[in-house]
Amino acid sequence: MVSHGSGQQSPGSVLYLGKLLSLLVAGVEAGGWLARPWRCRFRWKLRPHWVSGDTTYGTVENIVSVEAEGIRAYMPLPETDKHSPLFRQRDFTWDEEPEAYVCPRGELLIFSHRVYSKEITIYRAEGRTCHACPLKAKCTTSSNVRSISRSFHEECLARVREYHQTEAYQKARRKRQLWMEP
């Protein structure tokens, strides 16, 4: 779902919105979802302010591409660890100054390496502190130490997480449900 104004609809907005939605859906089936909003800009002279999608569209690649164009990505972020009984990544806090994660017990997970093919940075706890930690059973099932991956695009993803708390995001999700999931 796409908005092309300051929240007000002009005559024909629904028509444009319907065309835009059909193009976005067709683009997913053809594998070209990312090109659709930009094609609509040039074909119909629309400048969308936001794009809404479900978890299928809420990939890091899609979100970063949409946000890079100045379009708000009102999409849920992928959560790979949501059913795990262990501490989630969000239970660890990011500390800008040492550029490290802080575990729930207050220990640092420091830079380990980068995986350029996945565009992530890996942070790991030190072995002696992790092995001696009384919370290790809630933290990792590994015989090694706890590690956390951080996307190269974490600032963009954090901005999208902040959208989730806004009324505009909730409204966009409701509109998407009306249009796509009647």
Question: Is the pLDDT assigned to residue 6 strictly greater than 50?
Answer: no
More confident residue, 178 or 76: 76
Mean pLDDT of the chain: 78
Over residues 92-110, the pLDDT tens digits come to 999 988 899 999 999 999 9
Report pTM. Answer: 0.69
Tell me how far apart the alpha carbons of residues 31 and 75 are, in angstroms, rounded to a whole number.
Answer: 18
